[in-house]
A and B are shown apart, each in its own frame.
Chain A
């Protein structure tokens, strides 16, 4: 321990008595050589996790986002799923936009709108063989969309059609050159495609809810798209968070992803009333991210990449690892714990770390 206190505490002048106390405490909380930190971390996380309920808590009918919580969420995090079950974002606003109206406006802008969301009516006219779309005029006004823009959007994305507009009714017909070999089902598929056309907002964000916490307006979203949201004006880019770890790693880098793992795991556990020391989660997050990518804890992640053959075979897919090792002529140096237990040696952990060298 250095004499000086780190970072923000640098200028604090401490009495000698307090300094000694600090030193003593620091020594107490330090791990000793050979301490099985990994096993302790695993036990500290998984034992309380068995106590929490397996069932996700339901909160239907509330203006609240229903997110994955508890054990399922914890499993999702440690398995490093590419896309979480319920990706969410918390978007903070900058000083000028920190009010209800601006928050609502931004939320409306963020939310993904498909064509079907703004349609009052859509049907297939079987006599004239055309699709008729009737947009909701009040919704159009609210979202600042014009009928013309819808027409250009449809024209751009669906080919071989003729499009016309009459009394706010958009009519889609099959182009003349394609007419001979077309059926009703083609018309139906065009209708489905048109309905799902992306019209406005940010892709992937299904819901955006405005909430106020400690005089701070926050937009909570269901669905996550950091890259696009970061470019939005009015938001505070330094405080925006997403629970999609892979997205965070891609947009903000692996260090941010490490922090996201720690934050997500600790909040998930605290929510369930599990009070685990953060350092265990720090260790797990470090292990998951230390090669620059996010690795899962399991067969295809950390456990599958252990150097020892016996160690890998002990975990899962025994035959696969043994045959691969045999064909590759692998040598197991017996350096870790499991292999030594298998062959019946003293494992290099705790008291087993000490080796005696006899002087001749």
Chain B
């Protein structure tokens, strides 16, 4: 007996499962049962699953009857002429949707040629076995699967035209590639998905060769003149937000140029760019710590009487400033109000980013790298026609990763650039022999290789070099956003230890495992030095072992417990002092026993 489940709920049993499944499927195809219904027969579990609920992912497949697909050539012609629509085909059950469960029972042919009598369905196009992300890549069938995964993931990180209304938007951060191009080797899905109108990179002339070891370990050598012509140039747009809030007791923030008597007043120069309303006008050049919107807030706590008497205002400076290390131009200013009625100011700034050493680039084949050297055009290798590559990648990137698709992309791109035509790189459609043949007809070597001349010495390079055109993306990981160093700098208030993180100009943590390494080396003094960033001196009573009181006015130290004056100064880490304080707060009395 086979159990039958409808949307996962047990509904009944039947004797002949296969017959039932067959008749159910026929009924669905005869519009007796809804087309949304999927029927799956699990032979191993001896159960039939009928699914009608929402949220299932389904995909269309051409139905095959008696070994021939229901979709005939005439129908295809009708579709092309617009006589037949997609819904017509679905209604007539020429193409039906299968969910993941029913797919287990289907035997799907990838192409018409491989069709046998056993097949139940036919793929509309072999590309459809790939998802949207993978089908955007060039010649994906010639790359290893993991590389496609990396390649698709890197498209997400690319700078490009992410949306066409970017001028109207106020994203917190966004990147825009200025001279973005659609790929010369593109797949059919590129148009369908809108990637053609939202490009992610540029077509570059690529040479695969070493360049004085400046492109080892996946780094790339880039042509300086190409950069000057606008290669990889992008805009970084950041939107700053500030709001004038209202506080308890009728106090509120004030947007405007702060009075010099306000607490924490920066130098006058920092406010010089602001207009009368305290907001910076568009197209102003600003650099880090410059004020974008002047704002003052009421004090957090009530101040000491003395300071008020001295004429310092009881307001503090709370302006919106540019993030540290950035140099940018104000793009636009939005002045609006929140639903609470508070004034809201948004300032968008743009920063042109010219590629520099350390910026990240990637092809569509999971081949990423950072710029290792920027070379003047005259020092780049050149062909007999005087062509110099835009970028040079290292041949070591190819063998272990087996990204044959990239090589084919370069060769096809070369052919395309010579012909002035876009190349079709849809999965399972590329024909390497044809590309080679065409390239030969154009008067080039059929493998895309050329003799190159050393740009520095002018000598001919012994080996023929693969040079062609490929699509390269600039990824949004840029050194200017990541570079960080510190010698001395700010410390955290509580622990007196260095702060953490780039934005706070912090130090790098010397962690537990690093500590163990120093111990293993037996370098005790180095260890002490490394951990004494928060060194302090604490006066301790020799008899009670407790922190003594230092009276600076009377210039003497005494113990609060025994009132004695046998006090010694003890060196310890501030963190340890904190630990002792915390123990004391828990009514534990940690005594420090001092030696003579």
Mark A residues whose CB is within 8 Å of B.
Answer: 34-36, 39-40, 42-43, 322-323, 326, 331, 337, 341-353
Contacts and interface: CB of A to CB of B under 8 A. Distances in A.
Nearest to A347: B524
Interface string B554-596: 0000000000000000011101100100010000111001000
Contact of B523 (A42, A337, A345, A351): A351
A344 B531 CA distance: 7
B576 A343 contact: yes
Contacts of B520: 36, 39-40, 43
B351 to A, nearest CB: 41
Given A331-B593, A345-B528, A347-B528, 7 more contacts: A39-B520, A40-B520, A344-B528, A346-B528, A349-B519, A351-B525, A352-B525
Given A341-B527, A344-B532, A344-B535, A322 B588 contact: yes
Contacts of B516: 39, 42-43
B92 interface: no
Interface in B507-539: 515-517, 519-525, 527-528, 531-532, 535
A39 B573 contact: no
Contacts of A346: 524-525, 527-528
Contacts of B517: 43
8 contacts: A34-B522, A36-B520, A42-B516, A43-B516, A43-B520, A344-B572, A347-B519, A350-B522
Contacts of A353: 524
B312 to A, nearest CB: 39
Contact of B524 (A40, A42, A43, A351): A351
Nearest to A345: B528
A176 B320 CA distance: 94
Contacts of A337: 519
Q: What band does the interface of chain B fall in when counting residues whose beta carbon is under 8 Å from A?
A: 20 to 34
A351 B593 contact: no
Nearest 7 Cβ contacts at the A-B interface: A350-B522, A352-B524, A344-B573, A326-B588, A39-B520, A343-B576, A346-B528
A344 B572 CA distance: 5
Interface in B86-141: none
B531 A36 contact: no
A117 B515 CA distance: 57
B595 to A, nearest CB: 10
B519 to A, nearest CB: 5
B515 A350 contact: no
B593 to A, nearest CB: 7
Contacts of A351: 522-525
Nearest to B591: A331
A178 to B, nearest CB: 41
Contact of A341 (B515, B535, B590): B515
Contacts of A350: 519, 521-524
Given A323-B588, A343-B572, A36 B532 contact: no
A240 to B, nearest CB: 39
A36 B515 CA distance: 12
Contacts of B531: 341, 344
Contacts of B521: 36, 350
B583 A349 contact: no
A344 B570 CA distance: 11
Contact of B522 (A35, A326, A331, A343): A35
Given A323-B588, A344-B571, A346-B525, A36 B583 contact: no
Contact of A326 (B528, B583, B593): B583
A351 B527 CA distance: 10
B337 to A, nearest CB: 50
